[in-house]
Amino acid sequence: MATSGLLGRLRNTSPRTAKLIGATALSTCLGTSLLMGMLGVRINASPSLPLGLYVETSDQSGFVEFCPAEPFGSFAAVRGYRSKGNCPDGASPLMKPVIAWAGDLVETSSRGIAVNGVLVRNTAPRWLDTFGRTMTPWPFGAYNVAPGTVWVASSYNAKSFDSRYFGPVAVSSIRAHLRPLLVEP
């Protein structure tokens, strides 16, 4: 059977030309990744935020990228909630919306996380993860957000691994503040 189009042309390409095409494609991908990193662009493919591109910003009111504290970081890595990355535990950082800052009142319950009396949608803790493994929510109660900490939670995805399970995040663990650059609607 004769193959036509691009696949047919590639099959009839000399090994030297095929290697050159492959090297060019690889170089282009690596170069684009490096450039995006230098420009502070992050790709989000997790369901915790809208899919798309995010860029570093000096505005501290939106999204953050951080490495979760132990033992929660390793827990998330072992469970497969985080892929390989450059955090101290060898897994990727998390990207989450900040929902509460120092001075806010956070209340956790089986209904979810309320900030200053307003329940954040999709934050009810789950007792089992997607694979049926036990989840332990942060202890229910009222918390004044301490200076040097924030609370993060995804209102986009009810299954997000966020402050409903690991509580406050130290501001010192935040690697970058982010804003959407090009995201799905």
CA dist 156 and 141 (Å) reads 23
Residue 32: pLDDT over 50: no
What does the pLDDT read at residue 185? 74
In this prediction, residues 19-36 reach a mean pLDDT of 56
**135/181: higher pLDDT:** 135
C-alpha span between 144 and 162 (Å, rounded): 18
Determine how β-strand 174-183 pairs with β-strand 94-100: unpaired
**Which residues on neighbouring strands pair with residue 113, listed in sequence order?**
108
- Grade residue 116 by pLDDT with cuts at 50, 70 and 90: very high
SS3 track for the chain: CCCCHHHHHHHCCCHHHHHHHHHHHHHHHHHHHHHHHHCCEEEECCCCCCCEEEEECCCCCCEEEECCCCCHHHHHHHHCCCCECCCCCCECCEEEEEEECCCCEEEEECCEEEECCEECCCCCCCCECCCCCECCCCCCEEEECCCCEEEECCCCCCCCCCHHHHCCEEHHHEEEEEEEEEECC
pLDDT at 73: 95
Write down the pLDDT at residue 38.
Answer: 55
Q: Read off the pTM.
A: 0.79
Summarised one tens digit per residue, pLDDT across range 71-115 is 999 999 999 999 999 999 999 999 999 999 999 999 999 999 999
Hey, what are 43's tokens? 């790709």
Give tens-digit pLDDT for 45-61: 888 888 989 999 988 87
pLDDT (mean) for 67-71: 96
- Mean pLDDT, the chain, as a whole number? 87
Q: What is the mean pLDDT of residues 21-42?
A: 59
